[in-house]
Amino acid sequence: MPSAEGLLAVALVAVYVIDSTHFLRIGEALVRTRRQTLDALSFGWSFELGGRRPYIPNPLTPFRPDFRIEWDTAGEATVDARRGCQEMRRHLEIIRPLGWLAPACAIPIVLVAPVALAMGEQIVFLAAAATGWLGAFAGCTFVVLRKRALGLSAWQVCSLVFVALVCLPCSGNLARAVTLQHRWTFAARDLPLLGSDARSSAEIRHQALVALMSAKRYVAEESQEFRVIDEQIRQLEACNS
């Protein structure tokens, strides 16, 4: 039988990974970031669970937040892709200090504490937990002080602070959790504009086509949504020709 310390060590890592996981429904994607720039677009893994695509960001890079976007398939109002990209980059600049604090929250709790538990080093474990909590407290203080600049409501701030301080493995994802409070809705045909160069734009266009083809399987052929998706596919294919 595994010891209680071993189970707790596994639980700390598992909670962090589970908290990092996204389940993207049809019409959702994640904009990945790197060095304060928009790096790539992800529609989730290729297989689906209950109509949703799971996606786990690199657990070793909690300082790289992701933005969740929606790509319209019903002909509703959308945001200009270039303006949306500018807003995301501006948001990255604001939360940069929170990205610096992310490793201070994640490393003690997800790496040091489990190893200390496995080796029976209680003092090291307590020191790691205290360090992680202090990092979480500093991150929460930043969120509270920059609430208006981050565009967060009082309820969102309270929810983020409560989870980060009570569930320490989740505090490593605080920067990611803050960025996920914002969503942008783009037209599917505009998704390639999120690419940083011609190669990444072509890859995003291909991903969007695959996702739209998959989405068609879940809507009735006579519906307005089916016609909008079909038109979006036609426009994306026209860009390839």
Decide if 149 is inside a domain.
yes
Q: What are the beta bridge partners of residue 53?
A: 24
Q: What confidence score (pLDDT) does residue 59 get?
A: 87
Decide if 26 is inside a domain.
yes
Residue keyed to tokens 């389940």: 23
Give per-residue pLDDT as tens, 69-78: 887 766 666 7
Decide if 45 is inside a domain.
yes
Decide if 142 is inside a domain.
yes
Length of the chain: 241
Q: Report the share of the chain in percent with pLDDT over 90.
A: 39
Q: Which range of residues forms the domain containing residue 105?
A: 4-184
Q: Residue 204: is its pLDDT beyond 90?
A: no
Decide if 147 is inside a domain.
yes
Q: Residue 97: is its pLDDT beyond 80?
A: yes
Decide if 209 is inside a domain.
no
Q: What confidence score (pLDDT) does residue 239 get?
A: 67
∠ CA 106-108-109 to the nearest 5 degrees? 65
Decide if 66 is inside a domain.
yes
Provide the domain count of the chain.
1
| Distance (Å) of CA 114 to CA 4, 18, 121, 163 | 12, 16, 10, 20
The answer to whether 217 and 225 have CB atoms below 8 angstroms apart is: no
Q: Residue 1: is its pLDDT beyond 80?
A: no
∠ CA 137-141-143 to the nearest 5 degrees? 120
Give per-residue pLDDT as tens, 103-157: 999 999 999 999 999 888 999 999 999 999 999 999 999 999 999 999 999 999 9
Decide if 237 is inside a domain.
no
